[in-house]
Amino acid sequence: MTTATASPGGGPRWIGARGGVNAILVAVAGLAIYPYLVMLFGGFKSSAELTTNPGGPPSQPTLANFAALFTGPAGEVMWRSLFNSLVVTIPYTVLTVLLCAMAGYAFAKYRFRGRNLIFGFLIASMLVPIEVNIPALYLLFSNIGWLDTYQVQIFPGTASVLGMFMARQYMRGIPDEVLDAARVDGAGHWTTFFRIALPMSAPVLGAIAVLTFVYKWSDYLWPAVMVGDPHLEPIMVTLPALSTDASGFIVRYEILLAGALVVTLPLLLLFGRFQKSLISGTTVGAVRG
Amino acid sequence: MAFFALPSIYSVVLSFFRYNGYTTAHWVGLNNYRSLLDAPDFHAAVVNSAFYLFVPMLPMLVGAFLLALAVRSKLSNLSPVYKPLIFVPQVMAPVAAALVWRVMLSNNGVLNTTLGVHVAWLTDPVALRWGVVLLLLWRGLGWYFIVFLAGLSGVPEDLLEAASVDGANAGRRLWHVIVPLMRPTILFAVVIDTIASLQLFTEPNLLVGGAGTTAGAPPSAAPVMNQVVTNVIGGQFGLAAAAGWMLFVAIGCFSLIQFRIFREATQ
């Protein structure tokens, strides 16, 4: 019996199966992007229109929702939280990339006692979960006075094991001869690292940077637990409350959508530019399976 | 090493004490565990977390697997286009995704209007969890799709050709060649899905939580993670640690069972 995949030459059956599969894929892709459209359209609708036309494009596009978000008392919170998110996310990303590059380099290119053991421990530590650590870490940071600060949002988590793993795998591919040549020319350990290893690993470090930025920008649990001071909260924590009206009980959906659009735009831009690293980065663990 | 392990060890110790963070800690033995196990809210949370684990798992993993097969097969010629489109829900932050779905599931929202129904997704105690499941399916499908696509690239093309030369039809090739070779990837997906589902926090709380506050989801939709977080914020560190450890042990047990099942299936 001839099957569809075995006979790429043609025939009505082949064409039928092809049409069916493509129709399903188009439908799934459509469902995947539809909430994006609801958000995009809804951000430009008035409250009245959102009730009568929840899914289609706006008939009378308005910028009123964005004006409401970025001006007045809501605007104060909005600007401050966006600023907080950037002030936290950018140093966090830089630190993560630097730490992962250094650790990855050490694990890939230096021989030292217990190297594989330590690396194994690091991988195992990924299994220790956040639900167990949060009570202890909260007390720890409370004791050193780090609750309600920027540093509690910037430093913990930057020693990303997944990132170290990615950096190590990549740096193993740097030929030893290149590094040796640099040393022969009189370069020290640090010079070799910064001048040779770091630039040669730019692709993987870029991927780590993009993945880290997206993760940190989107993170909710950590700041929701560790930061109680509204002046220091990132946008993901303040955004849900920004859309309530003065009474605090009625949620204005059109503003909710406009706000979601604002915080999603940077991520979409990154995705458009660094699609490959973002998609393949999610499967780093999967390949090893 | 000590740096990574210390908080967990400290958490075990904490779970046997009543401690509010500043007065002296009191040894209470297993009382924290007992009072959680006696609390109706904790029971509800366990049921909810089990719901978020078991209800979306099969449709999400099977759907993602079939999608990956379709994109990889010669049946679709637009794979480079489908890949980012199916993955893109993963790009939206969980907070933003929950807020957008909150609007879509509202009384006059897209879902009710399109389906012509009047389900109170955001308030009806029975419907709440189904709304969360819809959000999880939407956001998660693309991730597992990419995972399976990566796994499929490890299935050698010539093996499939050899099988079809030997007269194996598409179904047999799938079941006897592709699935066995994909077993490690499938196990990975199942374990990751278990861990992620049991650690769920952001999605239910922001989808069906109180308007704009961090009040969180009502008991009929709140996951077990809420028991950890609300107790930490409420200064009941012993209870929080006990809840965290029970959750961790549950995750460990499920993962072990899954490894076992897959090992037996391989033999």
Q: Which two tokens stand for residue B154?
A: 């490890």
Q: Which two tokens stand for residue A178?
A: 């290149």
Provide the whole-model pTM: 0.91
Q: Which helix (H) or strand (E) holds B18?
A: strand B17-18
DSSP of B177-218: IIHHHTHHHHHHHHHHHHHHHHT--HHHHHHHSSTTSS----
* Contact residues, chain A, for B18 at CB < 8 Å: none
Q: How many residues are present in chain A?
A: 289
Q: Is the pLDDT of residue B120 over 50?
A: yes
CA dist A47 and B208 (Å) reads: 20
Q: Give the residue among A25, A14, A12, A27 at the shortest CA–CA distance from B170.
A: A14
* Contact residues, chain A, for B212 at CB < 8 Å: 240-244, 248, 251
* Contact residues, chain A, for B93 at CB < 8 Å: 217-218, 220, 236, 263-264, 267
Closest Cα of chain A to B9: distance in Å?
A: 9
The percent helix, strand, coil of chain B (3-state, each to 5) is 70, 0, 25
- In chain A the first and final C-alpha atoms are separated, in Å, by 35
pLDDT single digits (tens) B135-150: 999 999 999 999 999 8
What amino acid occupies position A284?
V
Q: Which two tokens stand for residue B45?
A: 């949370």
- Cβ proximity of B220 and B130 under 8 Å: no
Domain boundaries, chain A: 13-42, 80-288
Q: Which helix (H) or strand (E) holds B139?
A: helix B127-152
DSSP of B148-159: HHHHHTTS-HHH
* Contact residues, chain A, for B71 at CB < 8 Å: 25
* Contact residues, chain B, for A225 at CB < 8 Å: 229, 232-233
CA dist A222 and A266 (Å) reads: 21
* Contact residues, chain A, for B224 at CB < 8 Å: 131
Question: For position B227, what pLDDT does the model report?
Answer: 93
Alpha helix positions (H), B18-93: 31-38, 40-72, 79-87
A101-120 residues touching B, CB cutoff 8 A: 118
Question: For position A248, what pLDDT does the model report?
Answer: 63
What angle do the packed helices B2-14 and A115-125 form, to 10 degrees?
40
Q: Tokens 């008939």 sit at which residue?
A: A59
CA dist A187 and A175 (Å) reads: 16
Write the CB contacts of B244 (distance below 8 Å, at least 6 apart in sequence): A131, A132, A133, A134, A135, B11, B15, B228
Question: For position B141, what pLDDT does the model report?
Answer: 96
pLDDT, average across residues B246-264 = 90
- In chain B the first and final C-alpha atoms are separated, in Å, by 36
pLDDT single digits (tens) B97-115: 999 999 999 999 999 999 9
Q: Determine the residue among A134, A137, A158 to mutate to test chain B binding: the one whose Cβ has the most chain B Cβ atoms within 10 Å.
A: A134
- Cβ proximity of A134 and B239 under 8 Å: no
Question: For position B7, what pLDDT does the model report?
Answer: 80
Record: contact A55-B110, CB cut-off 8 A: yes
Alpha helix positions (H), chain A: 12-42, 47-52, 64-70, 72-109, 115-125, 130-143, 151-154, 161-171, 176-184, 189-191, 198-200, 202-218, 221-226, 235-242, 253-281, 284-288
Q: Is A6 in CB contact (< 8 Å) with chain B?
A: yes
Q: Which two tokens stand for residue A75?
A: 């605007």
Give the residue from chain A lying closest to B237, CA to CA. A135
* Contact residues, chain B, for A35 at CB < 8 Å: 89, 92, 97, 100-101, 104, 138
Q: Is A54 in CB contact (< 8 Å) with chain B?
A: yes
DSSP of A221-267: HHHHHH---GGG--HHHHHHHHTB-TTSS-B-HHHHHHHHHHHHHHH
Question: What are the distances in angstroms from CA B212 to CA A250, B45, B99, B102?
Answer: 9, 22, 10, 12
Give the residue from chain A lying closest to B13, CA to CA. A136
Strand partners, B27: B17
Record: contact A35-B104, CB cut-off 8 A: yes
Give the count of beta carbons closer than 10 Å to the beta carbon of residue B6: 14
Q: Is the pLDDT of residue B15 over 60?
A: yes
Closest Cα of chain B to A102: distance in Å?
A: 17
Q: Tokens 């809210």 sit at which residue?
A: B41
Record: contact B169-A35, CB cut-off 8 A: no
CA dist A245 and A252 (Å) reads: 7
pLDDT single digits (tens) B35-85: 999 999 999 999 999 999 999 999 999 999 999 998 888 776 677 888 999
Strand partners, B26: B18
pLDDT single digits (tens) B193-204: 999 999 999 999
Question: What are the distances in angstroms from CA B172 to CA A3, A83, B160, B177?
Answer: 11, 56, 10, 8
Between B10, B84, B108, which is nearest A275 by CB? B84
CATH of B29-266 given 3.40.50.300, 1.20.1580.10, 1.10.238.10, 1.10.3720.10: 1.10.3720.10
pLDDT, average across residues B10-15 = 88
Question: What are the distances in angstroms from CA B74 to CA A3, A6, A9, B78, B252?
Answer: 12, 9, 11, 10, 40
* Contact residues, chain B, for A282 at CB < 8 Å: 90, 143, 146-147
Q: Determine the residue among A1, A25, A155 to mutate to test chain B binding: the one whose Cβ has the most chain B Cβ atoms within 10 Å.
A: A25
pLDDT, average across residues B162-172 = 85
Pick the most confident of A179-183, B28-32, B91-95: B91-95
Strand partners, A255: none
- Cβ proximity of B194 and B205 under 8 Å: no
- Cβ proximity of B48 and B257 under 8 Å: no
Q: How many residues are present in chain B?
A: 267
- Cβ proximity of B93 and A267 under 8 Å: yes
Range of weakest confidence among B68-82, B206-220, B230-244: B206-220
Between B91, B108, B199, which is nearest A131 by CB? B199
Percent of chain B with pLDDT over 70: 94
Average pLDDT, chain B: 89
CATH of A80-288 given 3.30.420.40, 1.10.3720.10, 3.90.1150.10, 2.40.128.20: 1.10.3720.10
Which residues does chain A have with pLDDT short of 70?
1-14, 127, 245-249, 283-289
The more confidently predicted of residues B165 and B88 is: B88
Record: contact A285-B4, CB cut-off 8 A: no
Complex-level ipTM: 0.92
